[in-house]
Amino acid sequence: MTTLSRGVELTDDPDRVIAPGETFASVTDQIAGVVQRPVTWLFMSAFGLAFTGVMMLLIAVSYLILKGVGIWGIDIPVAWGFAITNFVWWIGIGHAGTFISAMLLLMRQDWRTSINRFAEAMTLFAVACAGLFPLLHLGRIKYFYWLIPYPNTMGLWPQFRSALVWDVFAVSTYGLISLLFWYVGLIPDLASLRDRAKTRFGWMSFGILSLGWRGASRHWTRYQTAYLLLAGLAAPLVVSVHSVVGMDFSEGIVPGWHSTIFPPYFVAGAIFSGFAMVLTLAIPLRALFRMQNLITLRHIDNCCKLMLVNGLLVAYGYGSEIYTSFYSGSVYESFMTINRFIGPYAVGFWTLIFCNVLAPQILWFGSIRRNVIVVFALSIVINIGMWMERFIIIVTSLHRDYLPSSWGMYHPTIWDWATFIGTIGLFFTLFFLFARLLPVIAMAESREMVHETDGGVHPPRKMEPMHAR
């Protein structure tokens, strides 16, 4: 049992979504207090480390623009190396944010309130990192706008039957809708920060960003309608975006890619890796900002359960892929699978089986799901495993072409690594800035939670979705 500064005792009650004794004022003060607290050395060093990654990314991208994609390890037959692996990995991580904020809202899961705001921010930053890679991978980056359909003097149009063009629309719609959803959710909280601002600069900036929100009852009614609609619109995006990414692969006649299991299996994998990243971020965050009363063990527990379910779906996907490759009777398909088992990238394959299929099975035990240190370690393992999965899907499918004379190997160069690690730096830099400058937990929704639980004394009276009528 932990005791907070205010003397509130935290219980391990699994049903609690908010600690007892909270009031409208206490949750607002606590969450907004993080933004108004002075910067610590710990924060500055973590931020500095992440920012070093951004500098590395800038150098890697500048050199790439100067020299072209030849600085990467890609070649024929492996023309999709780290860039597409990283793209799929990052965009997958983003999915948990949308899943938490939209799907769980519509399914009236009240516990989502404390984690939705930073999960949405995580989505935005992950999409920003993901979006870089297809552009960098173009080779001639200056022509990126050719992806967008616009009337041009060459009389050319994108080929709308191609999944790669669907991707342009799916990812940009996803990015924009996620941004709007996040911002609309933030408006009442920005107003709270404006009202608490101690400096004129803070008052002005939060005043402009909050658009003059004053909590009028008619405004709230329209706001709730719009928020619920945005949730309803974002929910199908969870399914559609990664389905389209899956179709990037399954539309190609490459053994290991050409499979109808890809869209659903990619969606499950995306939510799986996304929840892993949510836990990777939430566990240090609640400890660092002392938010164990708002992000309770119930949140960790529920995220673990969802991660386990999606992990099992992913495991089913692996099984189905292996079974289908032998059942197909195609020599290329079965060779591809055997090559994954014992070929040159076998270590990667068995790593991903360990990380994504075996390791998550410990989540069947409730005591493990409530042990934050084990869960944190497992979330890192799953992040690595899901990155490895995309790497194996891309590289092992490509490197053994139909003709042995066209076989090749993919060796990532230092620039591949610099770009990849650089985007991790970018992600954390953006996340640290967010955690400092904006409330990491939705304040207005937490106040609603206090109202519905009578200050955390009772379990929620009814499973009314937050912000929804």
Partner 1 sequence: MPAEVRDISKRLFGLAAEFDSPEAILEAAKHVRVQGYRHVEAYTPIPIDGLSEILGFRRTWIPAIVLCCAAIGAGGGFFMEWFANVVHLPWNIGGRPMNSWPAFIPITFEMGILFAGVSATIAMLALNKLPQPYHPMFRLDSFTEASRNRFFLCIESDDPLFDLEKTRQALETVHPLAISEVPR
Minimum Å gap between C-beta 28 and partner 1 is 5
Minimum Å gap between C-beta 211 and partner 1 is 4
Of the pair 192, 302, the CB lying nearest partner 1 is at 192
Classify residue 3 by its DSSP letter. B
Of the pair 240, 320, the CB lying nearest partner 1 is at 240
Phi, psi of 397, deg, nearest 5: -70, -30
Minimum Å gap between C-beta 444 and partner 1 is 6
Q: For residue 303, which amino acid is it?
A: C
User: Which tokens go with 221?
Assistant: 């009614």
Of the pair 30, 423, the CB lying nearest partner 1 is at 30
Minimum Å gap between C-beta 404 and partner 1 is 27
Q: Say how far apart CA 469 and CA 464 lie, in whole Å.
A: 8
Minimum Å gap between C-beta 440 and partner 1 is 17
In the numeric block, the tokens 């059942």 are attached to: 327
What residues line the site for partner 1 (CB under 8 A)?
Answer: 23-25, 28-29, 149, 155-161, 163, 165-166, 169-170, 173, 176-177, 180-181, 183-184, 188, 191-192, 194-196, 207-208, 211-226, 229-230, 233-234, 236-237, 240, 244, 247, 444, 447-448, 451, 467, 469
Of the pair 185, 256, the CB lying nearest partner 1 is at 185
User: For residue 317, what are the CA distances in angstroms to 242, 322, 339, 414, 453?
Assistant: 15, 9, 18, 32, 40
Of the pair 372, 468, the CB lying nearest partner 1 is at 468
Minimum Å gap between C-beta 207 and partner 1 is 6
Classify residue 102 by its DSSP letter. I
Q: Say how far apart CA 277 and CA 288 lie, in whole Å.
A: 17
Of the pair 31, 352, the CB lying nearest partner 1 is at 31
In the numeric block, the tokens 């004022």 are attached to: 25
Helix axes 82-98, 217-250, angle to 10 degrees: 150
Q: Say how far apart CA 259 and CA 249 lie, in whole Å.
A: 8
Minimum Å gap between C-beta 418 and partner 1 is 33
Minimum Å gap between C-beta 213 and partner 1 is 7
Minimum Å gap between C-beta 259 and partner 1 is 18
Minimum Å gap between C-beta 34 and partner 1 is 15
Minimum Å gap between C-beta 35 and partner 1 is 14
* 155 torsion bin: left (phi>0), alpha (psi -120 to 50), beta (else): left
Of the pair 383, 453, the CB lying nearest partner 1 is at 453
Rg of the chain's alpha carbons, rounded to an integer? Answer: 23
Of the pair 128, 433, the CB lying nearest partner 1 is at 128
Core vs surface per residue 134-164: b (16+ CB within 10 A) or e: bebbeeeeeeeeebeeeeeeeeeeeeeeebe
Phi, psi of 2, deg, nearest 5: -105, 145
Of the pair 411, 461, the CB lying nearest partner 1 is at 461
Query: Could you check whether the bond before residue 236 is cis, i.e. omega within 30 degrees of 0?
Result: no
Q: Say how far apart CA 74 and CA 138 lie, in whole Å.
A: 13
Q: Say how far apart CA 6 and CA 19 lie, in whole Å.
A: 12
Task: Please check whether residue 303 is in contact with residue 275, taking contact to mean a CB–CB distance below 8 angstroms.
Answer: yes
User: For residue 171, what are the CA distances in angstroms to 125, 142, 276?
Assistant: 13, 19, 21
Of the pair 214, 458, the CB lying nearest partner 1 is at 214
Of the pair 6, 411, the CB lying nearest partner 1 is at 6
